[in-house]
Structure 1
Amino acid sequence: MLDKNALQQLSQLKTQIVESKDQGDGEVRGSQRRFGFVRLDDGRDVFLAPDDMQRVFPGDRVRINVLTDDKGKFKAELEKLLDSPLDCFTGRYVVRGQGHFIEPDLPRFNKLLFIPPSQRKKCNEGDFLYCQVAQHPFKDGKSQVKVLENIGSPDNPGIEGKYTQRKFKLPKDWPKDSSIGDDLYAANRSDLRDIPFVTIDSAETRDIDDALWAQANDSGWTLYIAVADPGAFIAPGSPLDRAALQRANTVYLPGFTQTMLPNPVSQGSCSLLASEDRTAIVCRVQVGKDGAISDIQFSEAMIQSRAKLSYHDVNADLHGDMDLGQTCLKDLYAASLALRQYRSEHHIVMPEQADFHFQLNEQRRIENITKIERNDAHRLVEECMLAANRSAALWLADSPALYVSHAGLREDRYNNVRAVIAKEMPNLADCQFENLSGYKALIQACEHSDSALPLRSIFARMLQPGELSVEARPHFGLGLECYTTFTSPLRKYSDLLVQRCIRAKLNNTTPTLPNEAELAALQDAIRNGRQASKQMEQWLQYQYLARNTTDTVYEARIAHVNGGGFTVELLDTGISGFVEARTIPEKLSFDADTLRLFNDKQSFQLEQLVRVKTSELDDFQRKLMFLLVA
């Protein structure tokens, strides 16, 4: 038996050995192959061999010993599992020989997880499942799952919507008491029902947020934007309010809409339906002949829309192909042209993008995709909404409020931007694009540059995302000192919050704004909904494309470029896929400044038109690879 001194010496020796090791904590990251990496907290990426990768999940927090191989490269040796956030997930049931597994629908997760016999129930190969991790593989490389729900067979009509709802945990149920009562602010309302407002939306829209009216005067136009007022019936913190906060946004899935508010509210009692008395928050502004906005006023009002108009019909009316009998359309159009001209001269006008309409069949899959180009009616409504939202941000500037900010270019791309300016726009060498005025000068110069490069598109790929803020910060994307949105309160919870800020200022009260954690949770919920919509659209799009032969050739536009290849968008359908650089003869070099792949014989640049055909397509994994056609 060792004496006390010997034990102490062994303990000290063990401590010295541990301290002499290069150890670190970090997060496991998967790859497209069987190996992975550990991103250490100190910023290092350490290689994780396939055998060790079998013992962990992407996203796990682990402690590793950092070893160095014969070539001087870092290699991880797993020491301890610190945390494994993976719990419940969706996936596809697969059979490999005698083994039954689930193929998890998770990013960069390329391993199958074992389903024990007791959990297989009545599942069939190909079924979509909702599972929970029952055994982590860290100890012996073997994992097991528990089947919580068989979502259904891939042949079930509408299975894509049901699966997407489960995968992204979109709320399905409303609280027991989700009805609304009387107008809480009826005593404050002015009566504006004599103003002949009209609404302009898609023909199928039922949740109508806004109504418009304008009239010419000696100085330009008086413009009214009336916005639905669900906050008049939904008290902060009520069961319905909490449900709306949890949903954050209305999520538009093809063939299925996950609404922020119950349909009887968003499409009924609060929707600005024609010929119905409705509560509204009304923004009144004077639009000058030069498009400048002045005399901003807000009020709580009662209004009545005279007509529900569609974009198609309004555009026809504006160009003399139809007479809708609404005299305000001429003045609305004139005011919108002035507003747009002012924005193009003093702020930033975002490039237009076409929309794509999906026609679904009885299986709730895409039968046809129609490209919808924006017309003057779309632009009319857009300018009026921007005017109302810009006005709200200015009007609220001296009061507590919620804003939408955009910080411009990413700091890690500043050197790339400077390199492009030095070569393509030397007259802007001293441009301080880090601030709003400098960024506006940069973007406006792009519009008049004679460079052969698509400068505006290049800089657009280097932008930060927008975010919500309780401070009035610049919105670089629109070229504005401050910006907010309140014009979609039936569909966006943040707009409902801004409406409450407007009401608080009107009534000299203090609104309750979200704290930092609540704001982060709201933005996460918004991103989750957007991702759900995008992934389901891709799933259906890829199913639609799979009906064609692999020899079908498509006209496409290069939408993004990186060192591994480029993403293309098909012109007729908007479907996106990837062309790997290694599939193109002769090695290509990547220019990170101009986002260009090139060699001595060819070059691939943003906005360039190319012809492609499919080489690999998996609609469930949303994987679409193209080959370039000469």
Structure 2
Amino acid sequence: MSKNDTKNKPEQPEYEVEIPSREQLLEAVETRLKPTTFDEIIAHFKLTDERQHMGVKRRLRAMERDGQLIYTKANAYGLPSRMNLIKGRIIGHRDGFGFCHPDDGGGDLFIPPNQMYSVLHGDRVLVQEQGSDGKGRREGHIVRVIEPRQGGIVGRFFIDHDLGIVVPDDSRLNQDILIPDDTRNGARHGQIVVVDITRRPNRRTSPIGAVSEILGEHMAPGMEIEVAIREHDIPTEWSKATLKEVEKFGETVPPEAYEDRKDLRELPLVTIDGDDSRDFDDAVCAEPDGDGWRLWVAIADVSYYVRPNTALDKDALERGNSVYFPNFVVPMLPEKLSNGLCSLNPDVDRLCMVAEMRISAKGKLRGAEYYPAVMKSHARLTYNKVADILDGDPKLREDYQHVLGQVDHLHELFKVLKKARQQRSAIEFETLETRFIFNAQRKIESIEPVRRNVAHTIIEECMIMANVATARLIEENEQAGALFRIHEPPSQERLTNFRSFLAELGLTMKGADDPSPADYAAVLEQVRERPDAELIQTMLLRSMQQAVYSPDNAGHFGLALEEYAHFTSPIRRYPDLILHRAIKALLKQQKGANQALVGAWMYPTEQLDELGEQCSMTERRADDATRQVADWLKCEYMQDHVGEEFTGVIAAVTNFGLFIRIDDLSIDGLVHISNLDNDYYRFDNERHLLIGENSRRVYRLGDKVRVKVRSVDLDERKIDLTLLAAESPTGKDRMPGSGNAPDGDKQPHKSRKKGAKKSGKSKKTTGKSRAKTKGSKKQ
């Protein structure tokens, strides 16, 4: 059940007699100096009917379950906040310990391994803070599970001595799940299954479960996506009510939808998307306008079809966004809408919401007008085609002669917008993305770098301008509530870490404790030609906060904008749909009833807070799931390259080794400290270094290296590398084994296996290597 469902759900059960509400019961407990007994509560409210007593008892138990009250050893009800209790969610760790992430957003509490035996990753719990551990971390003691994790657990099924066991795929779930014979559901040894927990773990026994679904064989094509979808609880099934709603839609725009809309079918709007795109949210058109420009950004009018509080709307909100896996998409809307009626396909009528903007010759927004319209895309262009057209490709220029003028106008406008972006010092990232190339059996044939071209940035600038204009509209009309896309400045801790990283490379950043986007942009410009520029950019990205959705405007630090909102992708992002409804509500206030403004909706502020949390959560969920699939596929690809050599760069330095990012593939592997050359190594956390005690050999972030693939563990999604050569930023070679380490008393640390093999856990028998180092230990 979603968070919104829980908040809107009425209290159960319904009682035949009147009893105090939860709020009244909480107030009664709060007014007393010590925990309150049941008899004291009954006396306080002067309840005489036995049915009232029973109703209060049931309600108190429900409040216990939800963590509002604690039932003490003295048979009394107390407040968690006055008993030093914290509500939060358990985050497991592959090494057996865990953390409790408080609901109130405070710092995480460390949960030692012996406390993790009775809980599972994802449980909501009550925790009592109990001082600090040996590393200075706040430590917690689990008092009670108040909400067990929801959904099934994905794992691999094994039979060991006639005992059925499922080893969870998620390394944050450290406990194997026992499967009785009568709940195997036909699962065979080695298959990937989904398990429902039937008996929770405790300090003495493992969890017991039942196989609810068999996903298939371990290495079956597409299995990585099936696993990620279930591990991250991504909805894939439409409700029956939604399917009924979708059946009512035809293949073309309904006749009544044309009423009261501007007719833009003659305007040379075009879509520009990726080669494999199927849902087209946006179309653009630009024309010179006096000493400036006029820009039309037409966005699919999803709000006409997806009405508030319908089954279709609820399913779209639960998904929050489309999730894009390699060669597979989990859409936010049913395909009949996402690839059909809502998609701005070429040469067909489509409904749209338009932002018509006036832009000065210096790229400043002069004003904007919004209205519903009907349009017809004049061409389905791709980024590569537009780039080739601008480069003068004769065949493409002939094929698209009817929109050549439009492409040229967009390019000229882009130059103006690009210059304005540079003047406001927005942070510009040049990220290297990769694409998986599959063969007919859906096995990875290659991993290719995908680089952005001028067409990507043309569309990006047009979309940014529309999003800025829309955010200003909402900012100026506070009654039209919507979600802003906010990106706050880096935290002090992240800023300090980034400055330390730069200092090790001999770089500095201006701005002291309050750097501006311009200060960050200056760093990127300073290192643009360096061989380690991509690594520096990656570290800069890590220093940033995560962008989220919020009804309160806090600006967008990365884009150096005072206001920003998402307007341009309502087919695949729910916040954009919210914004479209708000714009329609504003227009309806101004113009009265209007057929074209169907779907207008004013959201109350308290609902927007929940919507912002939900949409931010689903975005993170999608990012985590797609990253998991990419990691799996990269490991699968590298299994065929064990023993081969690659060049790369040291992307992270830890107390247990070096993470190497392989050039052009964006694949990270580990050179474990026990596999480095013959020495003891000290980890310098502040300067991101490993230093050999005898040889004084230094390994640091940004060093160019040559490595050999040692082994690949697909289950753990780990790639182990052997270091062959390293080159410092100055260009001086450092060959492992060629240093001046003496043959002294000290011997190199040898790796050792950590932990005994779990029963039936044949997929994870390699263990985790660890070598002791001086300095900080692995967190």
1:65 offset after TM fit, Å?
11
Q: Could you tell me how far apart the structure 1 residues matched to 2:508 and 2:670 are? A: 34
Q: Could you tell me how far apart the structure 2 residues matched to 1:611 and 1:596 are? A: 18
What residue number does 1:11 align with? none
Residue 331 (structure 2) pairs with residue 259 (structure 1)? yes
Residue 125 (structure 2) pairs with residue 125 (structure 1)? no
1:504 offset after TM fit, Å?
2.0
Q: Which runs of 5+ in 2 are unaligned?
A: 1-72, 75-82, 590-599, 726-779
Q: Is the 8 A contact 1:24 1:66 kept in 2?
A: no
1:190 offset after TM fit, Å?
1.1
Cα distance 1:39–1:226, how it changes in 2: closer, same or farther (>3 A)?
A: closer
Q: Could you tell me how far apart the structure 2 residues matched to 1:74 and 1:283 are? A: 51
Residue 516 (structure 2) pairs with residue 439 (structure 1)? yes
1:595 offset after TM fit, Å?
4.7
Residue 386 (structure 2) pairs with residue 314 (structure 1)? yes
Q: Could you tell me how far apart the structure 2 residues matched to 1:305 and 1:217 are? A: 22
1:47 offset after TM fit, Å?
3.9
What residue number does 1:3 align with? none
Higher mean Cα deviation, 495-504 or 358-367?
Answer: 358-367
What residue number does 1:525 align with? 618
What residue number does 2:32 align with? none
What residue number does 1:534 align with? 627
Name the SS for the 1:352 alignment partner: coil
Q: Could you tell me how far apart the structure 2 residues matched to 1:420 and 1:75 are? A: 27
1:37 offset after TM fit, Å?
5.5
What residue number does 1:571 align with? 663
Match of 1:234 among 306, 310, 318: 306
What residue number does 1:603 align with? 699
1:419 offset after TM fit, Å?
5.9
Name the SS for the 1:488 alignment partner: coil
What residue number does 1:552 align with? 644
Higher mean Cα deviation, 177-186 or 226-235?
Answer: 177-186
1:195 offset after TM fit, Å?
0.9
Residue 239 (structure 2) pairs with residue 176 (structure 1)? no
What residue number does 1:612 align with? 707
Give the alignment's TM-score, normalised by structure 1: 0.85
1:185 offset after TM fit, Å?
6.1
Q: Could you tell me how far apart the structure 2 residues matched to 1:622 and 1:267 are? A: 34
What residue number does 1:462 align with? 543
Residue 684 (structure 2) pairs with residue 623 (structure 1)? no
What residue number does 1:18 align with? none
Q: Is the 8 A contact 2:228 2:629 kept in 1?
A: yes
What residue number does 2:155 align with? 91
Name the SS for the 2:543 alignment partner: coil
Cα distance 1:103–1:195, how it changes in 2: closer, same or farther (>3 A)?
A: same
Residue 442 (structure 2) pairs with residue 375 (structure 1)? no
Q: Is the 8 A contact 2:109 2:138 kept in 1?
A: no
Match of 2:431 among 353, 356, 359: 353
Name the SS for the 2:475 alignment partner: coil
Q: Is the 8 A contact 1:28 1:62 kept in 2?
A: no
Match of 1:278 among 350, 357, 364: 350
Residue 511 (structure 2) pairs with residue 511 (structure 1)? no
Q: Could you tell me how far apart the structure 2 residues matched to 1:488 and 1:410 are? A: 30
Cα distance 1:284–1:567, how it changes in 2: closer, same or farther (>3 A)?
A: farther
Higher mean Cα deviation, 354-363 or 293-302?
Answer: 354-363
Cα distance 1:226–1:557, how it changes in 2: closer, same or farther (>3 A)?
A: farther
Q: Could you tell me how far apart the structure 1 residues matched to 2:110 and 2:476 are? A: 47
Match of 1:36 among 82, 94, 97: 97
Q: Is the 8 A contact 1:81 1:138 kept in 2?
A: no
Give the alignment's TM-score, normalised by structure 2: 0.70
Match of 1:484 among 549, 562, 565: 565
Higher mean Cα deviation, 138-147 or 256-265?
Answer: 138-147
Higher mean Cα deviation, 257-266 or 73-82?
Answer: 73-82
Structure whose residues are more often strand by fraction: 1
AA partner of residue 529 (structure 1)? A
Residue 289 (structure 2) pairs with residue 250 (structure 1)? no
Q: Could you tell me how far apart the structure 1 residues matched to 2:527 and 2:208 are? A: 60
What residue number does 1:164 align with? 228
Residue 308 (structure 2) pairs with residue 268 (structure 1)? no
Cα distance 1:584–1:409, how it changes in 2: closer, same or farther (>3 A)?
A: farther
Q: Could you tell me how far apart the structure 2 residues matched to 1:104 and 1:472 are? A: 41
Cα distance 1:119–1:369, how it changes in 2: closer, same or farther (>3 A)?
A: same
1:192 offset after TM fit, Å?
1.5
Q: Which runs of 5+ in 1 are unaligned?
A: 1-13, 16-21
Q: Could you tell me how far apart the structure 1 residues matched to 2:112 and 2:259 are? A: 67
1:123 offset after TM fit, Å?
1.4
1:425 offset after TM fit, Å?
7.1
Q: Is the 8 A contact 1:579 1:628 kept in 2?
A: yes
Q: Note the 1:379-418 alignment, pairs <5 A.
A: 379-399=457-477, 400=480, 401-416=482-497
Q: Is the 8 A contact 2:425 2:518 kept in 1?
A: no
Cα distance 1:588–1:374, how it changes in 2: closer, same or farther (>3 A)?
A: farther
Q: Is the 8 A contact 1:29 1:36 kept in 2?
A: no
1:263 offset after TM fit, Å?
1.2
Task: Spell out, residue by residue over 1:167-215, the C-alpha distance to the aligned partner (whole angstroms, 9 max, x if none).
Answer: 3333232223232474886433111122111111122222111111112
1:219 offset after TM fit, Å?
1.2
Q: Is the 8 A contact 2:387 2:453 kept in 1?
A: yes
Identity value in percent: 27
1:121 offset after TM fit, Å?
3.8
What residue number does 1:4 align with? none
1:93 offset after TM fit, Å?
0.8
Q: For CA contacts below 8 A with separation 6 or more, give which structure has more relative contact order.
A: 1
Q: Could you tell me how far apart the structure 1 residues matched to 2:141 and 2:563 are? A: 49
1:476 offset after TM fit, Å?
0.6
Q: Could you tell me how far apart the structure 2 residues matched to 1:251 and 1:317 are? A: 31
Cα distance 1:94–1:486, how it changes in 2: closer, same or farther (>3 A)?
A: same
1:314 offset after TM fit, Å?
0.9
Q: Could you tell me how far apart the structure 2 residues matched to 1:161 and 1:427 are? A: 41
Name the SS for the 1:502 alignment partner: helix
Q: Is the 8 A contact 1:135 1:144 kept in 2?
A: yes
1:236 offset after TM fit, Å?
0.8
Cα distance 1:141–1:68, how it changes in 2: closer, same or farther (>3 A)?
A: farther
Q: Could you tell me how far apart the structure 2 residues matched to 1:72 and 1:173 are? A: 46
Name the SS for the 2:378 alignment partner: strand
Name the SS for the 1:294 alignment partner: strand
Cα distance 1:75–1:479, how it changes in 2: closer, same or farther (>3 A)?
A: closer
Q: Could you tell me how far apart the structure 1 residues matched to 2:273 and 2:382 are? A: 5
Name the SS for the 1:194 alignment partner: coil
Q: Is the 8 A contact 2:158 2:166 kept in 1?
A: yes
AA partner of residue 326 (structure 2)? P
Higher mean Cα deviation, 226-235 or 355-364?
Answer: 355-364
Task: Spell out, residue by residue over 1:423-467, the C-alpha distance to the aligned partner (whole angstroms, 9 max, x if none).
Answer: 9677936x452xxxx422321332454899966554432211111
1:84 offset after TM fit, Å?
6.5
Q: Could you tell me how far apart the structure 2 residues matched to 1:39 and 1:582 are? A: 32
Task: Spell out, residue by residue over 1:582-616, the C-alpha distance to the aligned partner (whole angstroms, 9 max, x if none).
Answer: 54344143343x6555564223214x433333334
Number of equivalenced pairs: 599
Cα distance 1:293–1:560, how it changes in 2: closer, same or farther (>3 A)?
A: farther
Task: Spell out, residue by residue over 1:109-136, the C-alpha distance to the aligned partner (whole angstroms, 9 max, x if none).
Answer: 3332211222224211111111112222
Q: Is the 8 A contact 1:57 1:84 kept in 2?
A: no
What residue number does 1:146 align with? 210
What residue number does 2:288 align with? 216
AA partner of residue 259 (structure 2)? A
Higher mean Cα deviation, 270-279 or 292-301?
Answer: 292-301
